[in-house]
Homo-oligomer: A and B are copies of this chain.
């Protein structure tokens, strides 16, 4: 499975983290750990859906154009076409006599499609904001841990 969705979420979260701030494809690419071309392609899709604005030319780049609380992961997922649950390869052969071989593809498609609706319903419960929140939580946890270990050191002396 390709990770355009992951990159898109990362980029949006980053822009939400740097509000009022323009970030170039190179800046975002470094943060994401990929190349600027890939970022520009993905940001182009996000722009078409209105999640970011872009500015060409000197001092240009990308800036958030939405409220992080209102953009669900489901919307972002759908912007990239969805359909990630169904594998590319499929079993069976429509020309076979055997009922199973002839019809399995359609039936599995049905199941993957319905399963995707479950997946999307989960993504609907989460937003760019809630991803950023969770990231901030990581920082707090790390602080707590370093405080604890500091305390242990004090107790040991």
Contacts and interface: CB of A to CB of B under 8 A. Distances in A.
A15 to B, nearest CB: 10
Interface in A81-133: 84-85, 87-93, 96, 98-104, 106-108, 110-111, 114-115, 118-119, 121-123, 126, 131-132
Contact of A134 (B3, B13, B107, B132): B107
A10 interface: yes
Contact of A92 (B5, B10, B84, B104): B10
- Stoichiometry, copies per complex: 2
Interface of A: 1-3, 5-7, 9-10, 13-14, 17, 31-34, 73, 84-85, 87-93, 96, 98-104, 106-108, 110-111, 114-115, 118-119, 121-123, 126, 131-132, 134-136, 138-139
29 contacts: A1-B85, A2-B89, A3-B87, A6-B87, A6-B89, A6-B90, A9-B108, A10-B92, A10-B100, A14-B98, A14-B101, A31-B92, A31-B98, A32-B101, A33-B91, A33-B92, A73-B111, A84-B85, A85-B119, A99-B135, A100-B132, A100-B135, A103-B139, A104-B135, A107-B135, A114-B122, A115-B119, A118-B119, A118-B121
